[in-house]
C-alpha cells in the first residue's frame, strides 16, 4: 500500500505554508504560541498565611517551618495554586521582592500537548511562562496564642548549674542556635538565679531537649508531673511536666581534686580536658587520661579547685 502524502496548508493568520498534520486549528506553530493561552486557568494572585510570632507558614492543618525563597516554601506555594492540573509544570523560580512588601513572586514555566488536525496523531508541545504573586497575610498560630495567654505552658525544662561562670549555659545557647527544631518548639526562656527555664508547648519537645542537655555535660535529671485540671465527662486532663536538670559545676581546663576510687589511674590533682556526656580528665605531668561517667560523678561529686575565666 502506498504511503499517503500530507499536503501543506496556508496558516489562517500569517499565510505561512504549514503541514496539515501539524497545524492546530489551521495555525502554524508561531501563531499557535501567540494565540493559544494555556495559562488562562492558573491563578495569578494567591493568599498565603504566616504567623507573625514564630514566622511559620500555614499548611493545613498545621504550621510548617520554611525560610524565605527556599525550596520548602516554594513547594508550599505551589500546593496552594489552582489550575496546574491541566498543564505540566516545567520550572518554578523565585523573583526577588522586598521583604517588607508582604509579597512573594514566583515565575512558572508550564507546558501542554496540543493535538493537530482532526484524526491526526501529531502532537505539538506548547510551553509558556507566567508570574504568580502571593500576598502574605499574618496572624498568630495556636502556639503563639498560648504564649500570649498567661500561665498556659505544658512542659518545662529547668536547667541549673551552681557555678560562678555561665560558660556551659552559653554553650547550650550556641547548641540551640544550630538546631532549628529546638528553636521552633521552644516558646519562652526565663532567666532564674542559677540557670534558665525553657518552656515548651509539648511534652515530647521538652523531653527531647532534656536529653540533648544531658549529652552536652554530665547532668542529673529528674522528671515530675502535676495534674492541673481534669474533665470526667470527656476523659481529658491537663497535666504539666517538669524536668529538673542539674549540670555539673565543671568546665574545660578546671583544676579538680579527685576523691579516692574515682579514677585510680590518675593522681589526685588533674585537669578537665573535655566536657561531654562524661568528664575527660588528664594528668598535666604525665599526660595520662581517664574518663568519668555522669553516674560515677554524681555518686561522688567533687567541686573545682580552680577555674579559668
The model's pLDDT over 99-124, given as tens digits with 9 standing for 90+, comes to: 888 999 999 998 887 765 555 545 56
Per-residue pLDDT, 15: 67
Which segments of the chain are extended strands (E)? Answer: 8-10, 17-19, 45-51, 57-59, 62-64, 88-95, 103-115, 123-139, 155-160, 186-191, 195-200, 219-231, 236-247, 255-257, 269-275, 279-282, 289-292, 304-306
- Asked if residues 274 and 252 have their Cβ atoms less than 8 Å apart, the reply is yes
| Position 34 confidence tier, pLDDT thresholds 50, 70, 90 | low
- Asked if residues 3 and 21 have their Cβ atoms less than 8 Å apart, the reply is no
What digits encode the pLDDT tens for the residues 143-186? 788 767 766 678 889 888 887 777 777 777 777 666 655 555 67
CA gyration radius, the chain: 33
- Asked if residues 265 and 273 have their Cβ atoms less than 8 Å apart, the reply is no
Per-residue pLDDT, 184: 58
Per-residue pLDDT, 74: 92
Q: What is the mean pLDDT of the chain?
A: 81
- Asked if residues 9 and 21 have their Cβ atoms less than 8 Å apart, the reply is no
| Position 133 confidence tier, pLDDT thresholds 50, 70, 90 | very high
Please compute the mean of the pLDDT values over residues 247-261 and round it to a whole number.
84
Per-residue pLDDT, 1: 44
What digits encode the pLDDT tens for the residues 191-247? 887 788 888 878 888 898 888 888 888 888 899 988 877 878 887 877 889 999 988
Minimum mean pLDDT range among 86-90, 123-127, 135-139? 123-127
Q: Tell me the torsion sign for CA atoms 80, 81, 87, 90.
A: negative
Question: Residue 2 above 70 pLDDT?
Answer: no
Question: Residue 272 above 60 pLDDT?
Answer: yes
Please compute the mean of the pLDDT values over residues 32-53 and round it to a whole number.
83
- Asked if residues 98 and 120 have their Cβ atoms less than 8 Å apart, the reply is no
Amino acid at each position: 500500500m502506498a504511503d499517503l502524502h500530507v499536503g501543506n496548508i496556508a496558516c489562517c493568520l500569517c499565510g505561512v505554508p504549514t503541514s496539515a498534520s501539524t497545524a492546530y486549528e489551521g495555525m502554524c506553530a508561531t501563531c499557535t504560541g501567540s494565540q493559544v493561552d494555556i495559562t488562562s486557568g492558573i491563578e495569578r494572585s494567591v493568599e498565603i498565611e504566616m504567623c507573625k510570632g514564630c514566622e511559620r507558614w500555614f499548611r493545613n492543618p498545621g504550621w510548617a517551618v520554611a525560610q524565605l525563597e527556599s525550596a520548602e516554601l516554594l513547594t508550599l506555594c505551589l500546593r496552594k495554586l489552582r489550575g496546574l492540573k491541566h498543564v505540566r509544570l516545567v520550572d518554578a523560580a523565585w523573583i526577588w521582592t522586598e521583604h517588607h512588601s508582604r509579597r512573594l513572586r514566583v515565575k512558572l514555566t508550564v507546558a501542554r500537548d496540543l493535538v493537530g488536525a482532526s484524526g491526526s496523531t501529531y502532537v505539538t508541545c506548547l510551553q509558556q511562562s507566567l508570574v504568580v504573586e502571593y500576598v502574605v497575610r499574618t496572624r498568630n498560630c495556636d502556639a503563639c496564642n498560648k504564649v500570649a495567654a498567661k500561665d498556659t505552658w505544658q512542659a518545662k525544662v529547668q536547667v541549673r548549674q551552681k557555678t560562678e561562670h555561665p560558660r556551659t549555659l552559653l554553650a547550650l545557647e550556641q547548641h540551640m542556635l544550630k538546631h532549628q527544631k529546638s528553636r521552633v518548639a521552644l516558646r519562652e526562656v526565663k532567666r532564674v538565679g542559677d540557670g534558665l527555664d525553657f518552656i515548651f508547648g509539648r511534652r515530647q519537645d521538652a523531653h527531647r531537649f532534656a536529653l540533648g542537655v544531658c549529652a552536652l555535660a554530665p547532668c542529673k535529671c529528674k522528671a515530675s508531673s502535676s495534674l492541673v485540671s481534669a474533665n470526667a465527662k470527656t476523659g481529658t486532663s491537663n497535666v504539666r511536666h517538669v524536668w529538673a536538670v542539674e549540670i555539673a559545676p565543671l568546665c574545660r581546663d578546671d583544676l579538680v581534686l579527685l576523691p579516692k576510687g574515682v579514677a585510680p589511674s590518675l593522681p589526685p590533682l588533674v585537669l578537665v580536658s573535655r566536657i561531654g556526656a562524661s568528664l575527660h580528665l588528664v594528668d598535666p605531668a604525665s599526660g595520662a587520661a581517664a574518663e568519668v561517667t555522669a553516674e560515677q560523678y554524681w555518686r561522688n561529686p567533687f567541686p573545682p579547685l580552680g577555674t579559668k575565666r
